[in-house]
Amino acid sequence: MSFEALLRVPALTGTMWTVTLFAVAVVLWLLYRKQCFSILKNMGVPGPEPSILFGNMLQLIKKDPIKSIDEWLKKYGKIVGYYVGTKPVVLIADVDLLKRIQVSEFHKFVNRANVVRGGPERKTGKEKRVEGFSQHLVALRDKRWKEIRSIITPSFTASKMKQMAPIMNSAIDSLVENVEKKSASGEPFDMYPLFQGLTMDVIGRTAFGIHTDSQNNPNDPLLRSSKVLLENDIRNPLALLAISFRSLETLWSWLGRLRLTVKNKGTNPLRELIESVKKVIAMRRGKKESRRPDLLQLMIDAEIDDLKNVTTEELTASGGTDNSESQSKSSSTNKLIRRMTDADILDNSVIFFIAAYETTSTALAFTTHLLLHYPEAQEKIRAEVQNLLDTEGNLIIIL
């Protein structure tokens, strides 16, 4: 085209410019998404075809995740790749490979995907702290994870669990009472909500140091907050959008908070939980007489010497050995002692709550289901329990 001819092309109007720029932006965005969704294919990991908008989220939601994953494993083999939003996930069902990842080569797989991000601070460029989330075991990475994990692990030894047994027993007493009341009516009843209440009470009392009574008081405000917070439904459209279009995370997090606040009748449930735990931590630090034999106290008291000597084995709470005792001995030397800050304790209480609630209540309910269907196994367990009660007087065993 000659220069004169070019001059005769009508100039783009404002609207045309807008449409053109929008079209270019959409094309660039689609190219970017296409590139995101080519990672697994390029790595040779087989799996279901992702959609450009939602990755494989819609497939997961439509069938339910367990069913979809089951089908994919049958179709593609023991290693399957799929996308949660644009995030590639590699699902491994090969036991030998899992052992390498979780045991022999674990040092290469310490970090998890970053779930909650605060974004960079304007002045320092450092990641902003998200209260309740930034400093817990699931979010921490590399050396910092190892450090906090080595401080927390001794709190889970059998002897420490034994100290917490009275707290757990009092919650179990309520469960037994409630089961007896319900079975007296002769009507069938659902055990799952009862196990949810039990788990909520044990974790609330041990990790948060708050005396919840969710099994007997369904209107407990803390119970309401926790339930709102822990209600995870993958079909929630807001969650689907937030997972699929992560770049708008400020908007999703604002909408998420708004949704939680509305569901929790006007107060942010996470804020309520955080404020309660902060108060308890401050009280425990301030007054010796408010000490309690629970997980929260163990975290407040926990200390380790400098990390250099911590081995991978020491990151696992072994039955009878109680790492913290030997550590407190060496703490009398001039070595560097590490303790958890209030923020570390707060965030890890929150993750204990989240990590323990669904897992434990589901495991208890499923175990009950299996015991009902396998009466011979139930009899065997009953005999073992009875034997232990006869010989030891209680069920607390140090393995």
Residues binding ligand HEM (CB under 6 A): 112, 137-138, 149, 351-352, 355-356, 359-360, 363
Measured CA to CA, the distance from residue 220 to residue 224 in angstroms comes to 6
User: Please, what is the minimum distance in Å from the beta carbon of residue 168 to ligand HEM?
Assistant: 11
User: Please, what is the minimum distance in Å from the beta carbon of residue 205 to ligand HEM?
Assistant: 12
Is there a contact between 156 and 287 (Cβ–Cβ < 8 Å)?
Answer: no
Which residues lie closer than 8 Å to 383 by C-beta, 6 or more apart?
none
* Half-sphere exposure at residue 307, Cβ-oriented, CA atoms within 13 angstroms: 14
Neighbours of 379 (CB within 10 A): 11
SS3 306: coil
User: Please, what is the minimum distance in Å from the beta carbon of residue 160 to ligand HEM?
Assistant: 12
Residue closer to ligand HEM (CB basis): 54 or 85: 85
Residue closer to ligand HEM (CB basis): 54 or 352: 352
Residue closer to ligand HEM (CB basis): 231 or 358: 358
User: Please, what is the minimum distance in Å from the beta carbon of residue 314 to ligand HEM?
Assistant: 13
Residue entry with tokens 């908007």: 251
State how beta strands 303-305 and 87-92 pair: unpaired
| CB-based contacts of 275-282 (< 8 A; 24+ apart in sequence) | 276/208, 276/210, 276/222, 277/208, 277/209, 277/210, 277/346, 277/349, 277/350, 278/342, 278/346, 280/208, 280/209, 280/210, 281/209, 281/342, 281/345, 281/346, 282/342
Neighbours of 64 (CB within 10 A): 12
Q: Residue 268: exposed, middle, or buried by beta-carbon count in 10 A (0-12, 13-18, 19+)? A: middle
Residue closer to ligand HEM (CB basis): 58 or 355: 355
Residue closer to ligand HEM (CB basis): 39 or 315: 315
User: Please, what is the minimum distance in Å from the beta carbon of residue 186 to ligand HEM?
Assistant: 31
Residues listed for the chain: 399
Residue closer to ligand HEM (CB basis): 29 or 106: 106
Residue closer to ligand HEM (CB basis): 141 or 181: 141
Measured CA to CA, the distance from residue 26 to residue 70 in angstroms comes to 35
User: Please, what is the minimum distance in Å from the beta carbon of residue 100 to ligand HEM?
Assistant: 14
Residue closer to ligand HEM (CB basis): 84 or 241: 84
Q: Which residues pair with 304 in a beta bridge?
A: 338
Q: Report in angstroms the alpha-carbon separations of 346 from 137, 148, 195, 232, 353.
A: 12, 13, 25, 22, 11
Residue closer to ligand HEM (CB basis): 359 or 387: 359
Residue closer to ligand HEM (CB basis): 117 or 149: 149
Which residues lie closer than 8 Å to 208 by C-beta, 6 or more apart?
273, 276, 277, 280, 296, 349, 353
Neighbours of 135 (CB within 10 A): 22
Which residues lie closer than 8 Å to 169 by C-beta, 6 or more apart?
none
Q: Following DSSP, what letter does each residue of 35-58 receive, concatenated?
A: HHTTHHHHTT---PPPBTTTBTHH
Residue closer to ligand HEM (CB basis): 159 or 261: 159
